[in-house]
Amino acid sequence: MARVGKKHSTDFYELRCISCGRTVREKESSTRCPSCRAPLDVHYDLGYIRSRLNRYSLRNSPAKALKYLDFYPLRNLDLVVSMNEGGTPLYRCTRLSERLGFRDLYIKNEGANPTGVFKDRGSLVELTKAKELGAKAVCVASTGNMAASVAAYASVAGLLCYVLVPEGTAIGKLAQALSYGARLLQVRGTYNDAARLTEEMSVRHGFYLAGDYAFRVEGQKSQAYEIIEQLDWRPPAAVIVPMGCGTNMAAVWKGFKEFYELGLIDRLPRMIGVQADGCAPILTAFQTGAERPTPVEKPFTVCTAVAAGDPVDGLKALAALRESGGCGVILSDAEILDAQQQLAHLESVFVEPAGAIPIAALGSLLTTGRIRPDEVVVCVATGNGLKDPKAAMRVLPSPATIEPSMAEVDKFLKLRLYEIRAAGARDGARSLFEKAPSRPRVVQTVRAELGVKLTAEYAKRVTALVTDFVEKGKRITKADLQYIVESVLKALSEPAPILQVEDFQITTSLKRKASAKVWFIFDGERAQAEGVGVGPVDAVVNALKSAAESRGKLFFDLVDFQVEINSPGTDASVETTIIMKDAKNDRVVATGTSPDIIVASVNAFVEGYNMLWSRQKS
């Protein structure tokens, strides 16, 4: 059939319910079946698509989502909403292959899309459809990436965009969605709470409902088309896809099937689905042979992008695994964060945790024989790591801050501070001591866990500090031990500081201001000072200020004070950061760590003051 203008001349596709088979007009619904609420699917007249197929241009123009317009259910190509998505790199992973024992391992880096995620491919079709249907505004529920993607495309389309996300959504994704102009609400609840509200919102207010529905699948299937083209039209043996709602798994599988049915490839890959153990409803159903997923009430995983407890496209994803002869692997957060690091270290591809789940699964797929080492395997790295930097920082050392002097750089190298921090960051939450340990035990643990040999003097101080913490009821984790060792190494490599705090005492009550008393040594001389404040931290900081001001001739000012709680629980370690400046506006940033917020604040203050003092002297 010939092309008439830029419009398709025929109904070359229809929407059909995947459960009751009913045909649905797209003006009626493009999300769920009006009769049975099951998801819809787009069915094509493949003969029509085949008749329009330009095999020459398909083979000879570079892969890009826009290249496949004829494979999308769009009627008016004048309305296409695009940001030039797709065409993402397919990397051959040589170092990772070698490490894991594969021969032909690839990463499809979907983080290279305009908003950093494969969802842009779906937004291309979905927002174009919203315009075709005359929408004035769209609404969407999201764990963050969908929000950013739909917001960006809605803005290009000139449509208002309302977004509902669960509270605690990754900061990079929030900032993106808001910047693109989305009107965003955070819901105190899960992704599925947000999804339920959004569906209702679309009906009540007449907004176009965007999200993991049939038209999005049509856009996202271009990942499969591109993989085929980038492998020179030889389909891979297996493709590994992280699953949240299961929509992307369904989309990639549909893409492969269409190329197969059009005779563009002669075999199909096995689809391997991967999920995090804090939210694995699709794979639990797959493994137990259940017909449909049982919802997970409270998903809990570092991979927030796949924390969909009641997956909209669970049935489609299960069908993809079963039809393709594929399988599934469920991974722990620790394994996934480790894989995220491996991928970054070995291949310089930085993904968000969800995007690393396929990498985490490779080892077990190989050892259980579900993938052979000589097979061509593609992992879909779904999203860019910059969207959720906090997740990556959970297993990375927070970089030390130094004074701007070469002596500080030398000290950093000589004391091996980077190595100690890096060791402490790996598995940092593991508990090491719950009771006061002996000195030999401390020496042995420090060597095994942090790779440092303590001399007698260092060992004595580290043991004393560990004992101190334990006696206050704190269990010592690996990260705590790293902090203690580092502060002892630093303290002993420096001359005695001008200000040292020996003890403090605080009185607080419901009705009166808090008051604090500190006993300190200034330049070798013992003294005490007092202060009051709105709370205990404020009071002790004021007492310290008065201690310093009464002795030293150093003008200083507190610029900022921040508190961060590092790990969950009541015995978590607290990190305080104090920024101070002197009369010449020179600033220092000092930190203190302790299970006790007041001790952490005292430590930060003392460190900051001593830094300002030594700067002034030099």
Ligand X SMILES: *Cc1c(COP(=O)(O)O)cnc(C)c1O
Residues that bind ligand X (CB under 6 A): 117, 119, 145, 212, 242-249, 305-306, 308, 352, 354-355, 382-383
Closest by CA to 242, choosing from 338, 146, 307, 335, is 307
Site for Zn ion contains 33 (CB under 5 A): yes
Least distance to ligand X, CB of residue 223, Å? 11
Secondary structure of residue 52 in the 3-state scheme: helix
Which residue number, 33 or 320, has a Cβ lying nearer to ligand X? 320
Q: Quick one: which segment of 17-25, 207-215, 228-236, 452-460 binds Zn ion (CB under 5 A)?
A: 17-25
**184-203 binders of Zn ion (CB under 5 A):** none
Nearer to Zn ion, 23 or 294 (CB): 23
**Helices (H) then strands (E): counts for the chain:** 22, 21
- Work out what residue 306 binds among Zn ion, ligand X, none; the CB cut-off runs from 5 to 8 Å by kind: ligand X
Positive or negative: CA dihedral 225, 229, 233, 236: negative
- Judged by CB, which is closer to ligand X: 354, or 544? 354
Q: Which of 10, 23, 35, 505 binds Zn ion (CB under 5 A)?
A: 35
Instruction: Report, in Å, the least distance between residue 166 CB and ligand X.
Output: 13
Contact 425, 397 (CB under 8 A): yes
Q: How many residues bind Zn ion (CB under 5 A)?
A: 8
How far is 456 from 442, CA to CA, in rounded Å?
Answer: 11
The CB-of-385 to ligand X minimum distance in angstroms stands at 10
Q: Closest separation between CB of residue 602 and ligand X, Å?
A: 42
**314, interface contact from ligand X, Zn ion, none, CB < 5-8 Å by kind:** none
CB contact at 8 A, 499 and 606: yes
In the complex, minimum distance from the CB of residue 31 to Zn ion, in angstroms, rounded to a whole number: 12
Show the 3-state SS of 80-144.
CCCCCCCCCCEEECHHHHHHHCCCEEEEEEHHHCCCCECHHHHHHHHHHHHHHCCCCEEEEECCC
What is the separation of C-alpha 374 from the centre of its chain, rounded to a whole number of angstroms?
31
Distance CA 499, CA 522 (A): 5
Site for Zn ion in 38-77 (CB under 5 A): 38
Please tell me the distance from the alpha carbon of residue 337 to that of residue 292, in angstroms, as a whole number.
29
| Closer residue to ligand X (CB): 110 or 449 | 110
Alpha helices for 426-535 (secondary structure H):
439-450, 456-471, 478-492
- For residues 242 and 592, which CB has a smaller minimum distance to ligand X in the complex? 242
> Does residue 20 touch Zn ion according to CB under 5 A?
yes
Give the one entry of ligand X, Zn ion, none that residue 352 binds, where binding means its C-beta sits below a cut-off of 5 to 8 angstroms depending on kind: ligand X
Residues 335 and 329 sit within 8 Å (Cβ to Cβ)? no
Among Zn ion, ligand X, none, partner that 385 touches (CB below 5 to 8 angstroms by kind): none
Which CB atom, from 31 or from 467, has the smaller least distance to Zn ion?
Answer: 31
CB atoms within 10 A of CB 517: 16
Amino acid type, 537: V
| Contact of residue 20 among ligand X, Zn ion, none (CB under 5-8 Å per partner type) | Zn ion
Q: What's the min distance (Å) between Cβ of 516 and ligand X?
A: 48
Residue 602's identity, in one-letter code, is V
Least distance in Å: CB of 582 to ligand X?
Answer: 46
CB 475 within 8 A of CB 433: yes
Residue 594 bridge partners (DSSP): 574
Decide whether 131 or 316 has the Cβ nearer to ligand X.
316
Q: Which does 353 bind (CB under 5 to 8 A by kind): Zn ion, ligand X, none?
A: none
Q: Which does 441 bind (CB under 5 to 8 A by kind): ligand X, Zn ion, none?
A: none
Q: Which of Zn ion, ligand X, none is residue 383 near (CB under 5 to 8 Å by kind)?
A: ligand X
Please name the residue that has the structure tokens 């391992």. Answer: 105
Out of 8, 12, 13, 17, name the contact with Zn ion by CB under 5 A.
17
The binder of 33, among ligand X, Zn ion, none, by C-beta within 5 to 8 A per type, is: Zn ion
CB of 20 to Zn ion, least distance (A): 3
* Sheet architecture: strand order including 270-276: 90-92, 104-109, 376-381, 238-242, 270-276, 327-331
Say how far apart CA 597 and CA 536 lie, in whole Å. Answer: 9
Which partner in ligand X, Zn ion, none is near 36 (CB below 5 to 8 A by kind)? Zn ion
Write down the residue that tokens 């001008």 correspond to: 498
CB of residue 162 to Zn ion, shortest distance in Å: 27
Question: Distance between CA atoms of 217 and 125, rounded to whole angstroms?
Answer: 9
Closer by beta carbon to Zn ion, 39 or else 144: 39
For residues 148 and 144, give the distance between their C-alpha atoms in angstroms, rounded to a whole number.
Answer: 6
Residue among 127 and 499 whose Cβ is closer to ligand X: 127
| Residue closest to 299 by CA, chosen among 254, 258, 330, 338 | 330
Q: In what order do the strands lie in the sheet with 208-209?
A: 183-187, 160-166, 137-141, 208-209
Residue 426, binding choice from Zn ion, ligand X, none, Cβ under 5 to 8 Å by partner class: none
Residue 37 beta carbon to Zn ion: minimum distance, rounded to whole angstroms? 7
Closer Cβ to ligand X, 354 or 514, answer by number = 354
CB-wise, 74 or 306, nearer to ligand X? 306
CA distances from 15 to 44, 74, 213, 237, 511 (A): 9, 12, 11, 30, 67
Residue sitting closest to ligand X (CB): 383
465 binds, among Zn ion, ligand X, none (CB under 5 to 8 A by kind): none
CB of 59 to Zn ion, least distance (A): 39
CB of 251 to ligand X, least distance (A): 7
- b/e map 533-560, b = 16+ CB within 10 Å: beebbbbbbbbbbebbeebbebebeeee
* Element spanning 156, H or E: helix 145-157
Using the minimum distance from each CB to ligand X, give the nearer residue, 172 or 383: 383
From the list ligand X, Zn ion, none, pick the one residue 498 interacts with, judged by a Cβ distance below 5 to 8 Å according to partner type. none
Radius of gyration of the chain (CA): 29
CB of residue 107 to ligand X, shortest distance in Å:
13
**Cβ-contact 148, 175 below 8 angstroms:** no
Nearer to ligand X, 309 or 531 (CB): 309
Smallest distance from the beta carbon of 214 to ligand X, in angstroms? 13
Nearer to ligand X, 223 or 515 (CB): 223
36 binding Zn ion? (CB under 5 A): yes
Pick the stretch among 26-34, 250-258, 260-268, 345-353 that binds Zn ion (CB under 5 A): 26-34
- What residue ranges bind Zn ion (CB under 5 A)? 17, 19-20, 22, 33, 35-36, 38
